[in-house]
Amino acid sequence: MTNPRRALMLVVILGVTVALPAQTKPGEDALRGVKSKADLETIVAELRSGELKGPQALFEAAPRGPYRVYTSYIDNRKGLADIHTTDDEIFVVLSGSAQCTLGGDIPGKKLEGRDYHGPQVVGGVTRPVAAGDIVSAPRGTAHQMDPGSGHVLYVVIKIFGQP
């Protein structure tokens, strides 16, 4: 026969063993959740109307967690050219379209924090992207979006690297 105390102790130990790895670090609760299509459509409408400006955080831990998820909206202009020295980025295009340039370099780039910025990527590969497309820009890769006279809205998944 099984000793009831031993069985209870085993259940408690197993429960603690399973629960401990699932616990989050302080601030990481902000990385959990769901953003519905309706939530994203509201953000799109508010960005397009000018009611909202700049990147809109979707999931972001404070202090800085292992990644950040936010929107980027570019309308009637070329986006800033970037090179991230430690971070990787993945873009998921939600609406609009753009010419996306990856690779090459940014002449006259300026270091701001751990990223280089400038007006234009030169020498990269440019191809069209539209709603439903996914773009990967690993650290060290120059990248830029240009929607021309239209717009592009995309979700950015930024995976933070070590400095």
Q: What is the total count of domains within the chain?
A: 1
> Could you tell me whether strands 67-75 and 151-159 are parallel, antiparallel, or unpaired per DSSP bridges?
antiparallel
Residue 138 covered by a domain: yes
Residue 146 is assigned to a structural domain of this protein: yes
In three-state secondary structure terms, 116 is strand
Query: Is residue 16 a part of any domain in this protein?
Result: no
Phi/psi for 96 (5° steps) reads 75, -165
Tell me whether residue 7 is in a domain: no
Question: Is 15 inside any structural domain?
Answer: no
Query: Percent of the chain, pLDDT > 90?
Result: 66
Nearest to 107 by CA among 139, 137, 142: 142
Q: Which domain, by its residues, includes 114?
A: 25-159
Q: From CA 129, how far away is CA 23, in angstroms rounded? A: 38
- Residue 116: per-residue pLDDT: 98
H or E stretch covering 129: strand 125-130
The verdict on residue 17 lying in a domain is no
CATH number at residue 84: 2.60.120.10
Please state, in angstroms and rounded to a whole number, the distance separating the CA atoms of residues 151 and 162. 33
Asked whether residue 33 is assigned to any structural domain, the reply reads yes
Residues 105-153: pLDDT tens digits?
999 999 999 999 999 999 999 999 999 999 999 999 999 999 999 999 9
Would the pTM of this model clear 0.85, i.e. be above it?
A: no
> What pLDDT does residue 115 have?
96
Which DSSP string do the residues of 52-69 spell out, in sequence order?
S-S-EEEEE-TTT-SEEE
Indicate whether 1 belongs to any domain: no
